[in-house]
Amino acid sequence: MSEFTLDLNDDQRQLRDWLHGFAADVVRPAAAEWDEREETPWPVIQEAAKLGIYSLDFYAQQYFDPTGLGIPMVMEELFWGDAGIALSIVGTGLAAVGVLANGTDEQIGTWVPQMYGDPDDVKLAAFCSSEPDAGSDVAAMRTRAVYDEATDEWVLNGTKTWVTNGGIANVHVVVAVVDPELGPKGHASFIVPPGTPGLRQGQKFKKHGIRASHTAEVVLEDVRVPGHCLLGGKEKLDERLARARERAAERAGGGERVKNAAMATFEASRPAVGAMAVGTARAAYEVALDYARTRSQFGRPIIDNQGIAFQLADMRTGIDAARLLVWRASWMAATSKPFTAAEGSMSKLYASETAKRVTAQAVQILGGNGFTREYPVERMHRDAAIYTIFEGTSEIQRLVIARTLSGVPIR
């Protein structure tokens, strides 16, 4: 029987330290500038590509770490550097995962390399799912894809919103409705190749935080993509739709089980967002700790006061607890352990709420200085707000957990 341990192996420690060095030497010094500019930090992405951090091979290696800790370690260290820049570096991965999860081998081999490009010609990709009236409520999605049998093309129409890299990406992956009567089961994903007519960037959002990450609407007007751009292929789609129609004919109890099974597939991705939140929380905590050690009031460092020291103790405890929840869920996903208590949602919920709380406490510890842009905790506090919103709000996470524990469709 193997001994239980939380120690990282040599390869994992080397990976963590290497990424930390990149975050400290390249990402963090550029953070304030790109936050103010609210633009994609191309020079940083290019540097990441030169070092091999921005590449499919790198993320594939971490994904196949048998312990499951590769991806959360990457996310924590990069987001420790800066959340906006880090999201610009990892944002393409959202689209790549969409292709890897649903595409054929040929589609994966064709499109995923085009999403990253190479160090001399960096590319971006965008995953387009949310809509103005369909965020958590995926059943309300309106973007339609209609098959034109005469030309073997799919015609896409609709508007996507909150798209990372939306409109500036080389490759877009778009989720669209192919059978409205089937709700979420009637959705399919499509590759929109570079330069396809009819796809354009809509509104670019001026955000509260993660401002170095480009977020915009993507408008699709009679966008025609070849039949081979349907992820998984039409034969597989037709088979899936036929099964969904059969299930839709069953009584409501069976339908609810289908929905819960689909919901469970999202659980495996949520720990990565939790790891992002841990990185931001840790960064803010470290700034606050250093400040409390060096800032003197009434003739002594402010950390000598229990009011400050106890806050720091709670901050560190929350961060460590969040990381353990993220690691547990990541290990469970990697080892195919069932999420019987929605452990993926637990990790994302706790880590994201911890990041908001810890960054707010960091601002408070720094006092007036924490409220200015001269210190990074102000930016970290703004960035942390996103974690309780994207990849499912905290309210949705609680709903998923409650439904999983109770076994009933809580509303």
- pLDDT recorded at residue 169: 97
- pLDDT tens, residue by residue, 216-239: 999 999 999 999 999 999 999 989
User: For residues 48 and 30, what is the distance between their CA atoms, to the nearest angstrom?
Assistant: 13
Who's near 116: CB < 8 A, 6+ residues apart?
A: 49, 54, 55, 56, 92, 96, 122, 123, 125
- Give tens-digit pLDDT for 175-188: 999 999 888 889 99
Is 76 considered catalytic here?
A: no
Which of 221, 353, 391, 395 is labelled catalytic?
A: 391
Q: What stretches in the chain show pLDDT beneath 50?
A: 251-265
Nearest to 175 by CA among 196, 144, 218, 137: 144
What is the DSSP pairing of strand 199-204 with strand 215-226?
A: antiparallel
CA 254 to chain centre: 31
> For residue 356, what are its two tokens?
């908001």
- What single-letter amino acid sits at 118? D
pLDDT at 262: 33
Which pLDDT belongs to residue 115? 96
For residue 267, what pLDDT is reported? 58
- CA 284 to mean position of chain CA atoms: 20
Q: Residue 261's pLDDT is what?
A: 31
Print burial letters for 133-143: b (CB count within 10 Å at least 16), e (below 16). ebbeeeeebeb
Query: Contact 201/221 with Cβ under 8 angstroms?
Result: no
pLDDT tens per residue, range 146-185: 999 999 999 999 999 999 999 999 999 999 999 998 888 8
CATH number 3.40.50.300 given to 265-406: no
Helix (H) or strand (E) holding 172: strand 171-177
Place of tokens 């998923």: 400
Q: CA–CA distance from 259 to each of 112, 253, 299, 361 (Å)? A: 29, 10, 61, 39
Question: Taking the CA atoms of the chain, what radius of gyration do you get in angstroms?
Answer: 22
pLDDT tens sequence across 70-105? 999 999 999 999 999 999 999 999 899 889 889 999
| Torsion-angle region of 148 (φ positive above 0: left; ψ -120 to 50: alpha; else: beta) | beta
Rounded to the nearest 5 degrees, what angle is found at the Cα of 94, between the Cα atoms of 388 and 402?
40
Q: Where are the beta strands (DSSP E) in 110-170?
A: 117-118, 121-122, 125-128, 144-148, 153-164
Would you kindly state where each structural domain of the chain is located, as residue ranges?
10-90, 125-249, 265-406
Q: Which DSSP helix (H) or strand (E) runs through 191? A: strand 187-192
**142: helix, coil or strand?**
coil
Q: β-strands 153-164, 125-128: how paired?
A: unpaired
CATH architecture of 10-90: Orthogonal Bundle (1.10)
Helices (H), 120-267: 234-248, 252-267
Question: For the chain, what's the residue count?
Answer: 411
For residue 229 the two structure tokens come to 């751009």
- Return the pLDDT at 258: 39
pTM tops 0.75: yes
d(CA 106, CA 191): 13
Residue 90 class from Cβ within 10 Å (0-12 exposed, 13-18 middle, 19+ buried)? buried
Distance of CA 192 to the CA centre of its chain: 21
Task: Give the Cβ contact number of residue 196 at 10 Å.
Answer: 17
Residue type, 43: P
CATH 3.30.70.3280 fits 125-249, yes or no: no
